[in-house]
Chain A
Amino acid sequence: MAAPQNFHDNPLIRKLESVFMLTDDERLALENLPMQLAVLKDDQDIVREGDSPSRCCLILSGFTCTYKVTKEGKRQIMSIGIAGDIPDLQSLHLKVLDNSIGTLSTCRVGFITHDDLRNVCDRYPRITAAFWRETLIDAAIFREWMLNIGRREAYNRIAHLFCEMLVRLRAVGLAEDHACDLSITQGEFADAFGLTPVHVNRVLKQMRADGLIEITGTRLRIPDWDRLKEVGEFDPTYLHLEQQDLAA
């Protein structure tokens, strides 16, 4: 367990500081970023594939997913966004979005205009570097998901994602010991794992019976962290956290 940290109130700063050291000036500039606040219900699209947004969406609380849908209507979730993430940051540089982003749970979000983001990046080149680093880490997460979905068995695949979620949530102060809130349904997990809800349900039952996870409502507790990491072949290197002990 990592030593308790003083997490910043602003989720964006918390997130960036988990992967990049910010100076006081940079922190202040980020704190002063103008934001249009909104509360979104679950299962809402924030942006859709083909959109050309003029703003980015910072998640303040809740869970989002990045997804694409086949012609037949089958959805593949490619990543899960948590507080502090800006899942459509790429829209700052790519004119047309090639994926959709939707809410998995009720989310509080802050919309930041591209102009304001460009402005803060112009004035603080290290903030640009921090966003770049964050984007590179997002790509690393996509690579890890590809391995996970493409090559790991369902049992190990699910274990891996639970490990990732716990470590990422802990890095922004949203997990205690080995427990976190994970308000994501089995159907949504199925879309993220490339499995059916029936299969996910069976595997979760098996994992519970094996003492790997405990789920009470939306609360996930991991009684044996080392074993879950082993089952999920979880190596947190790809998350590139500043404090490695967050993944311990």
Chain B
Amino acid sequence: MRFTFQPIRVATGFDEEGMMVLDEKQRLVAVLVRLSDDNEVAAGQWYLEAGFGWLDGGSHPTFSNLDLAQDWITQRLAHRAPA
């Protein structure tokens, strides 16, 4: 599955830039936020701020780049997709 990214500002309270992740049918599947370079926990990483559908739940991993985020989302959705 291919995803597209659309920049969006996310009101996390910390002025962070984000990306909407859309699937092939232009449906919103996730929102990623790029944590600031002085973040104490995961500086400069992409954080899965919110996921929808099968991505909704307790998992909020961080990724060093958007390709890795896309791989993770693809894997998750493939794993969860009904046969």
A202 interface contact, C-beta 8 A:
yes
Which residues 1-50 in B have Cβ within 8 Å of A in the complex? 12-14, 35, 39-42, 47
Among A22-30, A116-124, A192-200, the stretch that binds chain B is A192-200
* Residues of A within 8 A of B (CB-CB), count: 13
Q: Chain B 44-83, CB within 8 Å of chain A: the 1/0 string?
A: 0001000000000010101000000000000000000000
Complex Cα distance, B42 from A201, in Å, reads 10
Across the interface, which residues of B come within 8 angstroms of A194, CB to CB? 58
A74 within 8 A of B: yes
The CA-CA distance from A198 to B39 in the complex, in Å, is 9
Task: Provide the main secondary structure of the chain A interface.
Answer: helix
Q: Is the interface of B mostly helix, strand, loop or mixed?
A: loop
Who on chain B is nearest to A194 by CB? B58
Q: Are A74 and B13 in contact (CB under 8 A)?
A: no
A244 contacts the other chain (Cβ, under 8 Å)? no
Q: Decide if A198 touches B58 in the complex (CB within 8 Å).
A: no
Name the residue of chain A whose CB is nearest to the CB of B14: A202
Say yes or no for A54: interface residue by CB 8 A criterion: no
Q: Are B41 and A201 in contact (CB under 8 A)?
A: yes
Question: Are A197 and B42 in touch, CB under 8 angstroms?
Answer: yes
Q: CB-CB < 8 A to B40: which residues of A?
A: 186, 201
- The answer to whether A198 and B13 touch across the interface, beta carbons within 8 angstroms, is no
Most central of A187, A194, A198, A206 by chain B CB within 10 Å:
A198
- Give the chain A neighbours of B13 by CB distance below 8 A: 202, 206
- Cα A206 to Cα B12 in complex, Å, equals 11
A202–B13 CA distance with the chains assembled, in angstroms? 8
> Beta-carbon contacts of A206-236 to B below 8 Å, as 1s and 0s?
1000000000000000000000000000000
Closest 5 CB pairs of A and B: A196-B60, A197-B41, A201-B41, A198-B47, A198-B41
Between-chain CB contacts (< 8 Å), 11 pairs = A186-B40, A187-B41, A196-B47, A196-B60, A197-B41, A197-B42, A198-B47, A201-B39, A201-B41, A205-B14, A206-B13
